[in-house]
Amino acid sequence: MFEERLPTSLWVDALVRRVQVAGSAAFILQKGDASRGDVLIKVSDLRGEAVVFAPRTNMEGQRVFVDLAAQGVGPDEVEIDEYVNKARSRDSDLWVVEIEDREKRHFLTEPVEYVS
């Protein structure tokens, strides 16, 4: 059975708050559908490298985030920005959040998959 999700706008606000409480910075680069839009999370280390996480639903119906490095996206921040900009142009309902954290922490509470 698929789990109920919080409205995306509330989920994004909570993520931004977690980042701020930890002393890092988060910016909403694009607001999507307030209730059901997907979210791309870009995490920059402020030294020219970044990682991007995209959501997917696993076999149990849970939302998980996947590190797109396994798909060849990154770690160069310019390459990540190109990927994010293409995704933004394809999906007007997409939310894009950029986190700036020297340790590359993502602050996600959902499971994160690092597929190699």
For residues 53 and 94, give the distance between their C-alpha atoms in angstroms, rounded to a whole number. 13
Taking residues 18-43, report their average pLDDT.
95
Contact status, residue 39 vs residue 95, Cβ threshold 8 Å: yes
pLDDT, residue 71, reads 85
Q: How far is residue 64 from each of residues 2, 34, 48, 60, 111, measured CA to CA in Å?
A: 12, 19, 26, 10, 5
pLDDT tens-digit map of 91-100: 989 999 999 9
Contact status, residue 38 vs residue 93, Cβ threshold 8 Å: yes
Residue 62 has pLDDT above 90, yes or no: no
Which CATH superfamily does the domain covering 8-113 fall into?
Answer: Protein of unknown function (DUF1491) (3.40.1530.20)
**Statement: the pTM of the whole predicted model exceeds 0.75:** yes
Domain boundaries along the sequence of the chain? 8-113
Taking residues 78-87, report their average pLDDT.
94
pLDDT, residue 1, reads 37
Contact status, residue 105 vs residue 20, Cβ threshold 8 Å: no
